[in-house]
Amino acid sequence: MTDISASEQLAQVRTWLQAQIAEYLGRDAHEIDMDSSLAELGLGSVQMLALCGDAEDRFGIVVDPEVVLDFPTPSSLAPEIAALVQSGAHA
C-alpha cells in the first residue's frame, strides 16, 4: 500500500476508520465526529481492541493496542495508522 502518497494514505485510513467505527455503533459514517474520543463515541474497550485488529487485517500492519489510548480520537488515530502503513510495519 505504500505506492500512494502519504496524504492519500491518510485519506484512505480516515475514511476506513470512520466507516469502521460507524459499523461498530450501527450508525452512518457521516454521524461519526472524528474529533470525539472513541469512548465518547460509544466504543468500549473490546471494540477499541477489535479496531486495532481490524486495522491490522485491512492494512497488513501491526498495531499496538495501546495506540487507542495514546491517540484516543479518530482524527488523532488515523495519522498513526497511516504512518504505520507508510513505514511498512507489516504483520
Tens digit of pLDDT for each residue in 59-85? 999 999 999 999 999 999 999 999 999
Q: In the CATH scheme, what architecture does the domain 6-87 have?
A: Orthogonal Bundle (1.10)
Tens digit of pLDDT for each residue in 1-58? 447 899 999 999 999 999 999 999 999 999 999 999 999 999 999 999 999 999 999 9
Q: Is 43 left (phi over 0), alpha (psi -120 to 50) or beta?
A: beta
Q: What is the pLDDT of residue 91?
A: 55
Q: Using an 8 Å Cβ cutoff, are 59 and 81 in contact?
A: yes
Where b means 16+ CB within 10 Å and e means fewer, 2-41 reads eeeeeeebbebbbebbbebbbebeeeeeeebeeeeebeeb
Q: What is the pTM of this model?
A: 0.90
Q: Is the pLDDT of residue 90 over 80?
A: no
Alpha-carbon gap, residue 59 to 82, rounded angstroms: 9
